[in-house]
């Protein structure tokens, strides 16, 4: 499957039309439901298979961010053979009381994995926390970059963002399907 076909499949599965209240408070007539690709094991596997080639050489651990990044990192780990860490937004107060569960991250080169990036805010927060725990983090990888400033904001924090697909890719797929 080529990138355009993959973009079409993701766009068809995930772009919803209607009236949606966004986290920002704005109202939109389209909404991209990322959980639709995360909940589809066949589509998620296709995405992870393509993302594997984007994992930088030297990466030792893949770190998926709660919640959407967990499904993606698990599928990506299956394709790369790399161990995974699951990063909470806040450390839990019971059990292990850890922020990052799974693979050990201290002293290792870690790639942060997320489903969709808009502003990059959660990646920046989680990267700071992972660095405080001793991880070396200089990159992040997402399925979709919405191209709303996330890459530039992350670059300012020393984090290079890679993306399998962009909003432009999905818009081109939608336009081609509507012709």
What residues are designated binding site? 23, 88-89, 92, 114-122, 146
> How far is residue 51 from each of residues 41, 77, 87, 90, 179, measured CA to CA in Å?
15, 10, 19, 27, 29
CA distances from 102 to 59, 64, 87 (A): 16, 10, 9
Q: What are phi and psi of 24, to 5 degrees?
A: -70, -15
From residue 16, alpha-carbon distances to 8, 38, 57, 150, 178 in Å are: 14, 15, 36, 23, 15
Structure tokens at 65: 């961010």
CA distance 159 to 138: 5
Greatest Cα pair distance in the chain: 54
The rounded distance, in Å, linking the Cα atoms of 19 and 163 is 27
In the annotated binding site for orotate, the residues are 118, 146
List the binding residues for 5-phospho-alpha-D-ribose 1-diphosphate.
23, 88-89, 92, 114-122
How far apart CA 51 and CA 45 sit, in angstroms, is: 10
């Amino acid at each position: 499957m080529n990138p355009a076909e993959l973009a079409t499949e993701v766009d068809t599965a995930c772009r919803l039309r209607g009236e949606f209240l966004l986290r920002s408070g704005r109202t939109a007539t389209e909404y991209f439901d990322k959980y639709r690709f995360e909940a589809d094991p066949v589509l998620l596997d296709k995405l992870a298979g393509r993302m594997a080639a984007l994992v930088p050489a030297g990466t030792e651990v893949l770190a998926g961010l709660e919640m959407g990044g967990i499904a993606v990192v698990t599928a990506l780990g299956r394709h790369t053979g790399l161990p995974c860490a699951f990063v909470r937004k806040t450390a839990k107060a019971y059990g292990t009381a850890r922020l990052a569960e799974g693979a050990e991250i201290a002293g290792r080169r870690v790639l942060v994995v997320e489903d969709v990036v808009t502003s990059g805010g959660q990646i920046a927060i989680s990267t700071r926390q992972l660095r405080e725990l001793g991880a070396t983090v200089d990159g992040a990888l997402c399925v979709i970059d919405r191209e709303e400033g996330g890459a530039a904001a992350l670059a300012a924090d020393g984090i290079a963002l890679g993306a399998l697909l962009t909003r432009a890719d999905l818009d081109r797929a939608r336009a081609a399907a509507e012709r």
